[in-house]
Structure 1
Amino acid sequence: MSTMRAVQVVGYHQNLELADVEKPTPTGPFDVVVKIGGAGVCRTDLHILEGQWAEKSQVQLPYTIGHENAGWVEAIGSAVTNVAEGDKVIVHPLITCGLCRACRSGDDVHCEANAFPGIDTNGGYADYLKTSARSVVKIDDALEPSDVAALADAGLTAYHAAAKAAKRLTPRDRCVIIGAGGLGHIGIQVLKALTPAELIVVDRNPEALKLAEAIGADRGVVADGTHVDQVLDLTDGHGAEAVVDFVGEGGATREGVAMLRGAGDYYVVGYGENIDVPTIDIVSSEINFIGNLVGSYNDLCDLMALAARGSVNLHTQKYELTDFQSAISDLDNGNVRGRAILIP
């Protein structure tokens, strides 16, 4: 058997380990094996190590993590016609059946028979990844896998939430974006491309806000304790029509709800804490809480169109695959600007 390198979860609350494992080969007719050109490092990977997903995913340890992947097609199953060996691709994070009601509706994220490499089966912190023909999107020749890898999940999640928000926003509206980090800086660019609403970005890091304003934010507000009042001032005392929360922990939701106007929409993207809002407040202000998982295959195709025309650029910090521990530690300690990418 030929082997490859893979970074694996060997136990919860333990460090990841580099292992030699069997290189995947196409076994089913629709299998696609991708040679990884870049694998994004995501806060969800930290949550996996903390055991937050153990119950939900029921994954057997050890396994390889990494759910933001791009690279080149290495091998294909006998029935694959949409890509050929050597094609440059980004990988939709889920492997889906194509046959259930959700898939037939284009809502493949809710496929009844899905597998999620990096969450409940082997992912892309490795030399190669096995996925399916339904999951690969050919990318423009001008794009490099290591530059776009994190668009597969961080970008796709940000796109999914931003596109939902953009459907409701008008030129008179304000949209507050909480968090201008890995996801937030993509969400800002997508919102800029999709909606004429005014974009107000809240982050505790002044450097992140500088980046946010450079890529399309109309206003940057430092989260220094006065930020809720500042946002209320910027919205004539009413609050914003939409809040897109890329943080979802550390008190962000309480502050986010305080920045929302009546009948406003609160898009939950980042996660980690509970939302604690009296039901009478939800009823009397008629606000909506909207969960956002990852986007669909079509969302990813739309996002790649924005990337190809230069409307969405990912700010990345690159690490060798063997240097995975530095990438994880840097992310955990808040030292990554944009997105960390592992390169085999």
Structure 2
Amino acid sequence: MKAARLHDYAEGRLRLDEVATPTVTGPHDVIVRIGGAGVCRTDLHVIESVWKETLQPRLPYTLGHENAGWVEEIGSAVTTVRPGDAVILHPLVTCGVCAGCRRGEDMYCANSSFPGLNADGGFAEYIRTNERAVIRLAEHLEPREVAPFADAGITAYRAVKKAASQLTAGTRCVVIGAGGLGHIGIQCLKALCPAEVVVVDTSDEALKLAEELGADHTVDATDDPVAQVRDLSGGAGVEAVIDFVGEHGTTEQGPAMLTQGGTYYVVGYGGRVDLAALQIIFNEINVVGNLVGNYTELCELMALAAAGKVRLHTQYYSLDQVNEALDDLSRGRVRGRAVLVP
């Protein structure tokens, strides 16, 4: 089969190789024929060697961690899916018996593999996962339409779900970044809570998309976004900020937008969150990290997608165009999410 693989960090791009098609090797294995694989900024970071020391993958390997498709083959113990089923894959292959798994937090699995990051992923025609990772799609959902929900979607949903539990009528939530994750987060906020949604971005096109998706206010981040947000709240600040950028100054701006008792949810990464202890204490603010999401949260998100309450804006590329897709993403030419279709 064809697979887009990273051979050398210095090369800065992927090569399209002919490799062996994965096969069932264990009773709980599931082989999925890829119908769509999301192209994520994390893929750029992998190629740039940002994750090299943390994940230590063996090169060459196949990228792609946002995957959906059709079940091709199943192991002898698999009972919940069968060949031909359309499915989306939770990004981790987990063991099910460690403390993290028994708590229902798949991202905490002590014995996991992460296809596309430290194992062969979905920038290919087929992928091997396990039964714990697959979720059957509603009949009217196509794999290529939903693939980025597997990471970008549940990452946004997890942060929004945490925030929504604290956001009552009359409160405000700022979304920093209306790109691939942020445009999902806006829709999740509108679906889960009554808070006013304020979207901050440097891109006019991203702000226009935010308005189309139901944002109550938009703020041009090129002109003192902290002051603009505080003006919208009468000077008091907002109850929650969800930062989908996490760099280029947003880690200073986000906390500065909060009212007393507010919460800063960190989703994007690349920068640093440096807060004076006095600022945290006097304002009694919270800083909350968000690590992708668990299987149950992906199920909940797919229920919202099936109901038409959350949808992706996508640009499609063939597998042969993988480097073009990565370049478009790097240069800010992707509106929403890029998806590879083998």
TM-score band by shorter chain is over 0.9
Q: 1:277 aligns with which of 272, 275, 278?
A: 275
SS at 2:139's partner residue? coil
**Which residue is equivalent to 2:144?**
146
Equivalent residue number for residue 208 of structure 1: 206
SS class of match (1:146): helix
- Residue in 2 aligned with 1:55? 53
CA distance in 2, matches of 1:12, 1:269: 25
Q: Which residue of 2 aligns with 1:135?
A: 133
Scaled by the length of structure 2, the TM-score of the pair is: 0.98
Residue number among 7, 10, 19 corresponding to 2:4 in the alignment: 7
String of CA shifts for 1:78-114, please: whole Å, max 9, x gaps: 0000000000000000011111122112112111111
- Alignment match, 2:186: 188
Structure 1 residue aligned with 2:99, among 98, 101, 118? 101
What secondary structure sits across from 2:19 in the alignment? strand
d(CA) in 2 for partners of 1:338, 1:247: 14
- What is the one-letter code of the residue matched to 2:83? E
1:299 to 297, 300, 303: 297
Q: Give the equivalent residue in structure 2 for 1:44.
A: 42
Alpha-carbon distance between aligned partners in 2 of 1:257 and 1:10, rounded to the nearest angstrom: 40
Question: Offset at 1:238?
Answer: 1.2
Residue of 316, 319, 327 corresponding to 1:318: 316
Secondary structure (helix, strand or coil) at the match of 2:140 reads coil
Gaps of 5+ in 2: none
Match of 1:248 among 235, 246, 249: 246
Amino acid at match of 2:304: L
Deviation at 1:13, TM superposition (A): 3.4
- Match among 215, 218, 221 for residue 219 of structure 2: 221
Shift of 1:239: 1.0
Matches within 5 A, 1:102-117: 102-117=100-115
C-alpha displacement at 1:255, in angstroms?
1.1
Unaligned runs of 5+ in 1: none
Counterpart amino acid of residue 53 in structure 1: W
Deviations for 1:56-96, whole angstroms, at most 9, x for unmatched residues?
A: 11111110010000000010000000000000000000011
Taking only aligned residues, the RMSD between alpha carbons, in angstroms, comes to 0.8
* Range that drifts further, 232-241 or 279-288: 279-288
The total of aligned residue pairs comes to 341
Q: Which AA in structure 1 matches 2:58?
A: Q
**Cα deviation digits, residues 145-186 of structure 1 (max 9, x gap):** 111000110001000111111111111211000000000000
CA distance in 2, matches of 1:201, 1:57: 33
Q: Amino acid of the residue matched to residue 299 of structure 1?
A: E
Q: Percent identity?
A: 58
Q: What is the Cα deviation at residue 226 of structure 1? A: 2.5
Deviates more, 1:101-110 or 1:321-330: 101-110
Match of 1:18 in 2: 16
Q: Distance in 1 between matches of 2:160 and 2:311?
A: 15
The residue identity in structure 2 corresponding to 1:189 is Q
